[in-house]
Amino acid sequence: MRRGPIGLVVGITLASTLAAVVVVRWRSARAEEALAKARAILAMPITAAPELHEIPAGDALDALDRAAELGREELALRHYAQALAHLRAGDLIFAEGSLSAARHELGGWTADLRVLAGAIDRARLRPAQARAHLADALSRDPDNPRALLLHADLALDAQDGRAAAVALARLLEQAPELPALHNRRGLALELNGAPEAAEAAFRRAVELDPSFPSAWINLGRMLRRRDALEEASAAFATATEHAVGDPDAWLGRGLCALDRGELSEARAAFERVRELAPHEVGGRVGLGDLALAEGDLPAALQSYRAAVRELPREGRLWVKLGNALVRAGAPAEAEQAFREAISVEPTLAAAHNGLGAVLLGNGRNEEAATSLRRAAELDPADPHPLMNLALLHERSGERDRAAEAWRAALARDPSSQIARRRLATL
C-alpha cells in the first residue's frame, strides 16, 4: 500500500520535531555542564586557591562563553568572574565595575561579593572600606574561609598580630595542611614577639610545600636574625630556585653574603635586585650597606640619601643614613637624620640610640641620657643603649651609675667583652 502525501508530511514533521527536541536537550545538557564547570571554578575551595587572585577566572569565563553559545547566559556569574579576572590582572577600577554589575544582577550583597569588595579595597590601599566589607561578610557567614583570610591579611597589614592569629586559628581548623596559612601564622607570631614559634610555623609551611618561596624567604629572615647564616643563606637560595624573579629572595641572599663577608657575592645579589625591581629601595640600600662594608662612605651616603628620598617615611633608612654620617664625621647631619627617623617612627629604638650617641659625642649629656634611656625602654633586648649610657656616666665621673649600666648591658648580652672589661676597671 502506498503512503499518501499527508501521511508523508506528518511523518517528516514528527521526525523533525523529535530531532529538534533531541538537539535542544543536548544543547541544554551541554550548557548546564559548562555552567556547572564555571560555578565549580568560581567556588574553588581555599585549599585549592588560597588567594582570590589565584582562582582561574579566565577558565570560568571560557566555560560561561560556551554556555552562552549554547543558549544559557548567567550575567551575575559572568560579572563576578570578570571582577575576579580584573583583580588578578591588577585592573582594580574595572574589577569594581564588574563587581557592581554582579551585585545589581543579584539584587544586593552576598558574603562572597563583600569579600571580593574587601579584597579590591585592600589592593587599592583603602583599609577602612575593606574592613567595613569584611564586617558585613562575617555577619552573613561567620565561617566563610575567604572572609577569615581577608581578616587575617588586614590584621597583618595593620601589624595586629593578635587579631591575625585569632583568624588564622579558625582557618587552620578548616584547612590544617594549607601552607599559606602556616606562613601567615608565622608572620602573626613574629608580630606577637614569638620568634621561635614563628620560625616553627615557617618551617611547617615549607615542609608542606617545599616550593613555597614566600615561606622560604620568611624562614631565611628569621634564621638570619638569630645569626644562623649558613641555614639562612640556604633558605634564600631555595627561594630563588623556585622564584628566580623574586627580588626579596635575592635581597636575602645578598644580605647573608654581606654578613659572611662575601662581598662579591653580595654585590651580584644586590645588582640582581636592582635589575628585578629598579624602583624599590631594597637593592639600593643593600648596595649602600656593601659600600659601607668596603669603606666607600661617599657611595654609601649616596645610596642611603637616594633611599630616604624614595621612602621618607621609613625610619630604618634614616637610621642607616645617620650611622653613615657619624662615620663620615658629620654629627650635625647625623643628628638631623636620627631626628627624622624619630619623627616618622617614634618607637624606633635604634633612632633614639643613634641620637643619644651623637648627643653624647657633642657633650650634651642630659639630652643624650634621655634619648638613651628611651632607647633602652623601647628595645629591652638591645645592650647598646645601656653601653652608651654607661660611657656617659663614666665621662661624668659617676662610677656607681656607670657600673650599674654596664651590669644591665651584660644582663642583656652576657657575651659582651667590652662591657665585661669596662666593668672590671670600675
Number of domains in the chain: 1
In a domain, 351, yes or no: yes
For residues 267 and 287, the answer to whether their CB atoms sit within 8 Å is yes
Name the H helices within 209-280: 213-225, 229-242, 247-259, 263-276
- The pair phi, psi for residue 33, each rounded to 5°, is -65, -45
In a domain, 366, yes or no: yes
Angstrom distances, CA of residue 169 to CA of 148, 174, 218: 10, 9, 19
In a domain, 372, yes or no: yes
pLDDT of the residue at 24: 65
In a domain, 234, yes or no: no
> 3-state class of 51 per DSSP?
coil
Residue 7 confidence (pLDDT) above 80:
no
Residue 12 confidence (pLDDT) above 60:
no
Residue 2 banded pLDDT, cuts 50, 70, 90: very low
pLDDT of the residue at 280: 86
For residues 293 and 263, the answer to whether their CB atoms sit within 8 Å is yes
Cβ burial 265-300 (10 Å sphere, 16+ → b, else e): bbbebbbbbbebbeebbbbbbbbbbbbbeeeebeeb
> What are 107-153's pLDDT values in tens digits?
999 999 999 999 999 999 999 999 999 999 999 999 999 999 999 99
Residue 162 confidence (pLDDT) above 50:
yes
Q: From the centroid of its chain, how far is CA 422?
A: 43
> What are 16-38's pLDDT values in tens digits?
565 555 666 777 889 899 999 99
In a domain, 316, yes or no: no
Average pLDDT for the chain: 92
Residue 1 confidence (pLDDT) above 50:
no
Give the number of other Cβ atoms within 10 Å of residue 97's Cβ: 15
Residue 10 confidence (pLDDT) above 80:
no
In a domain, 371, yes or no: yes
pLDDT of the residue at 17: 60
Range of the domain at 360: 347-426
> What are 279-298's pLDDT values in tens digits?
889 999 999 999 999 999 99
> What are 344-373's pLDDT values in tens digits?
999 999 999 999 999 999 999 999 999 999
pLDDT of the residue at 28: 81
Q: What number is the average pLDDT over the span 226-235?
A: 96
> What are 47-89's pLDDT values in tens digits?
999 999 999 999 999 999 999 999 899 999 999 999 999 999 9
For residues 248 and 277, the answer to whether their CB atoms sit within 8 Å is no
In a domain, 164, yes or no: no
DSSP, res 50: S
pLDDT of the residue at 344: 96
Residue 9 confidence (pLDDT) above 90:
no
For residues 292 and 300, the answer to whether their CB atoms sit within 8 Å is yes
In a domain, 59, yes or no: no
Cβ burial 124-159 (10 Å sphere, 16+ → b, else e): eeeeeebbebbebbbebbeebbbbbbbbbbbbbeee
Closest CA to 293 of 273, 319, 272, 264: 264
pTM: 0.82
> What are 131-142's pLDDT values in tens digits?
999 999 999 999
| 374: CATH | 1.25.40.10
